Structure 1
Amino acid sequence: MNKKLFILLIALMSLSLLGIIFVQGYWISNSYKTKEDQFNFNVKQVLIEVAKQVQFREAEDYYNVYSGLADSVEKPDNIAISELIYSTRDDNTNETIIFSDGILAEDYKISSNLLDYETDSFQFKKITNKKTTRKIKKGIDEEGDTEVITESFRRLEDHERNQFEDFFKNIAAKQPIHKRVTTEEIDSYLKEQLKSRDVKSTYSFAIFSNGLATKVRSKNFKLDPGSTYEVPLFVNDELNTSYQLYVNFSEKEKDVLNSILGMAVLSLVFTGVIVIAFANALSQIFRQRQISQIKSDFINNMTHEFKTPIATINLALDALKNPKVKDNQEFLSRYLGMIRDENKRMHAQVENVLRISKLEKNELDLPKERIKLHDVVEDAISHVSLIVEDKGGYVKTHFGALKSSVLGNESHLTNVIVNLLDNAIKYSEDSPKIDVFTENAKNAIFVKIRDQGIGMSKAVQKKIFEKFYREHTGDIHNVKGHGLGLAYVKRILDDHDAQIYVESDKDKGSTFIIKLHLIS
């Protein structure tokens, strides 16, 4: 894929994901705000209704008082009677029940001599509701007829109720607040109204007079501007009042949050899954691109490595066709030796690739037996000694370990040491100077292979055991290889339950440290 197109797709996908996260955040915030507004609206309606109920109850109490007072004054100026009568008959018992529901409305004028009020007289309407029940059986009236007489403030017209309320407000205002309404009454009204609006939050309340708390209050009430609501009590026509009912919902935010918590959590979980999946997909994409690049480099290097021996073999074969060479045993042996060496070189490269492939598929059988690690190190050094001597260097051993018996595969452990020694030789710009140390620590043996080569950076140290990895030095590879040697070393040591790590500084050499478990 084109690099620019790839970057554009990643950018668009990232922007889309950020957009999804923003939309989810906006939705959660908006849902919280909506629920909070709904809570505020319900609470305000509850308080308004409670204030109305308190005021209506007080008016009704005064009405009942003045209804009794009206009976002791002069006859009413105007009387209106309305009555509804209906009956039912039971054929089985031969009973007839007659019901009557009558309303008596009387207009009284109460003198100011009887009241502590500013006006000379007060026009007062009294509503009396009279209900009777009479049973008749076989044409004979039975005893036990019932009659219910009640005086009803609720049946008054709105303007009549308002007129009465205006009258008694000045009288009621002279009473202390705790005689006009009780804590239990406020609490009862609040519970009823909150339940009707499905508001389950805990609350506390208090009535204040001109900014000062009164006796009418619940326990542990605190005035918190963020969670306290207020409504005026006992308001007159001019909307003046000295009393305020405050209700505090201390768990308001918690309750509002709980109302959207389920959907919010699901939304966040799904968004998190998308983010994790996207991050993982990006990681896999970049890793695949890196592997693809590394494999391309490997193929190029492998082609370069094979090109030289193939060309050498071709030249040697062409030389062997020369009649002069056929008769010269010295030249013949030389060219045949070149062909054999180059063939071995290509065979070794192929074996290296196949070995890694088998390791990844777990097809490489590694039988283990008791071996002396010092013997393995000595054998590995013998494989590279001629190369080191040819370059004018050395490999010195410093066996400080008193015990070196381990459970392992001698052949593959030898290859591990050879690979590490070969690395030390390749990455030494001058004559290779290599020291091999061993030491015991508890139930383990440590093998340290130290060189004085070019070293490596911290970033390179983290990746050197990855397959196909080679340090980038531009387009020129002064050191030939395919990035397979250390990957093979790591895989073999993992199979032996061993550990390997490296200590290195740029231009100061490297030390590879192997830790294997001892056996008794």
Structure 2
Amino acid sequence: MVFDGEGLVIDSNMASTPFLEARHGDALVGAAVNDLVRIANSGQEASTVIELFGPPRRTVVVSTLPLPEGGRPGAVAFVEDITERRQLEAIRTDLVANISHELKTPVGAIGLLAETLEGENDQVVVERLASRIHTEAMRIAQIIEDLIELSRIESIDGAGSGTVDMNEVAADAVERLRAAASQSGVEVELHVSTTAAVIVGERRQLLSAIGNLIDNAIKYSDSGTKVEVTVERADAEVLVRVADHGIGIPTRDIDRIFERFYRVDQARSRKTGGTGLGLAIVRHAIANHEAHIEVESRLGEGSVFLLRFQSVVDDVRADQTISSLNERA
């Protein structure tokens, strides 16, 4: 917006209209523009940051510069909405703080264990300390691996144009985690669809998402319990369900479990090596596929995660996949 020496607008663009008309929260911005124009007309630059509480909440920067013409005073005013920039800065700050916190614990533990190990001669104690150091090192490696995977998935726009059979993806995810399940004393059952379960998507993202759901189900289940992975076709959807009979999730925490580094049970996460990034990976992978995720959980009874995808009819491919999976079983 360009103003003359009297503070009257002599030129402006379309984006400035709400501020000039001074309606609702924009009236605060308009008032700030007028105040700063008076300062600019006196020959000084000026700027201010205004928080508009909305809704929606916004952050706006107003700045003015002197713009004399022909010896007469004048000013130009700029209004910039920096809401998105502020949000990104806040996310980055939180992420760095969380990463620092998550890495600080295992790094500190390794340092203390190594210091203790230096003066230890008992072979049994040495082996125990070395095992602890290895566990903490693997925890750091898992955090870094999950961060890289989350960053990769967040950088992808959409799900691509390839077709993926969710029967195959679920079977591969289960197979990859059978050893971990066996070590925890948890049985994993797979039930594949008998009809087409093909969607448009990227296999790697989907494998990561379903794998993380199964991994979580195993980690938060007690020995002797069962995790059930089911793929089914319902009308125009492909449904993938991961159900466990573990500790469950408190109702107050369900809305937050997909946040980075959020853990319902901190102590159990440390014991099982959870990084707090698995469900964030799931959320972004599902969003990239324009799919939906639903969660049902009861404390002490277990949890059910349900993924809903738009299906693609491909009966021939589905029949081939089901036959192959039956042979594998």
TM-score (norm 1): 0.38
Amino acid at match of 2:149: R
Residue pair 2:221, 2:245 contacting (<8 A) in 1 also: yes
In the alignment, which residue of structure 1 is the partner of 2:244?
A: 451
In the alignment, which residue of structure 2 is the partner of 1:399?
A: 192
Distance 1:477 1:338, change over 3 A: closer
Q: Could you say what secondary structure the match of 2:24 adopts? A: helix
Compute the displacement of 1:353 (Å).
1.3
Residue pair 1:371, 1:410 contacting (<8 A) in 2 also: yes
Q: Which has the larger radius of gyration?
A: 1
State whether structure 2 residue 52 is matched by structure 1 residue 277: yes
Distance 1:467 1:391, change over 3 A: closer
Compute the displacement of 1:449 (Å).
0.4
From 380, 388, 396, the counterpart of 2:173: 380
Distance 1:453 1:337, change over 3 A: closer
In the alignment, which residue of structure 2 is the partner of 1:300?
A: 101
State whether structure 2 residue 304 is matched by structure 1 residue 511: yes
In the alignment, which residue of structure 1 is the partner of 2:140?
A: 346
Q: Could you say what secondary structure the match of 1:514 adopts? A: strand
Residue pair 1:316, 1:336 contacting (<8 A) in 2 also: no
Compute the displacement of 1:402 (Å).
1.6
Q: Cα deviation per residue 1:106-157 (whole Å; 9 max; x = unaligned)?
A: xxxxxxxxxxxxxxxxxxxxxxxxxxxxxxxxxxxxxxxxxxxxxxxxxxxx
In the alignment, which residue of structure 1 is the partner of 2:267?
A: 477
Gaps of 5+ in 2: 1-20, 30-50, 60-82, 315-329
Residue pair 1:295, 1:468 contacting (<8 A) in 2 also: no
Q: Cα deviation per residue 1:252-276 (whole Å; 9 max; x = unaligned)?
A: xxxxxxxxxxxxxx77x33576599
In the alignment, which residue of structure 1 is the partner of 2:210?
A: 417
State whether structure 2 residue 262 is matched by structure 1 residue 434: no
Amino acid at match of 1:442: D
CA distance in 2, matches of 1:287, 1:477: 30
CA distance in 2, matches of 1:368, 1:496: 10
TM-score (norm 2): 0.58
% of aligned pairs identical?
25
CA distance in 2, matches of 1:459, 1:338: 34
Compute the displacement of 1:479 (Å).
1.5
Residue pair 1:455, 1:505 contacting (<8 A) in 2 also: yes
Distance 1:434 1:294, change over 3 A: same
Compute the displacement of 1:375 (Å).
1.8
Q: Cα deviation per residue 1:446-474 (whole Å; 9 max; x = unaligned)?
A: 01101112222333222222233333x6x
State whether structure 2 residue 157 is matched by structure 1 residue 370: no
Compute the displacement of 1:311 (Å).
6.1
Residue pair 2:186, 2:226 contacting (<8 A) in 1 also: yes
In the alignment, which residue of structure 2 is the partner of 1:357?
A: 151
Q: Cα deviation per residue 1:478-520 (whole Å; 9 max; x = unaligned)?
A: 3234432111111112222222121122332110011122222
Q: Could you say what secondary structure the match of 1:440 adopts? A: strand
Gaps of 5+ in 1: 1-265, 326-330
Compute the displacement of 1:359 (Å).
3.6
Distance 1:456 1:341, change over 3 A: closer
Residue pair 1:493, 1:500 contacting (<8 A) in 2 also: yes
In the alignment, which residue of structure 1 is the partner of 2:47?
A: none
Q: How many pairs align?
A: 240
Residue pair 2:254, 2:295 contacting (<8 A) in 1 also: yes
CA distance in 2, matches of 1:477, 1:293: 22
Amino acid at match of 1:501: E
Q: Could you say what secondary structure the match of 1:478 adopts? A: helix
Q: Could you say what secondary structure the match of 2:53 adopts? A: helix
CA RMSD of aligned residues (A): 4.2
Compute the displacement of 1:393 (Å).
1.7
Residue pair 2:170, 2:210 contacting (<8 A) in 1 also: yes
Compute the displacement of 1:432 (Å).
4.3
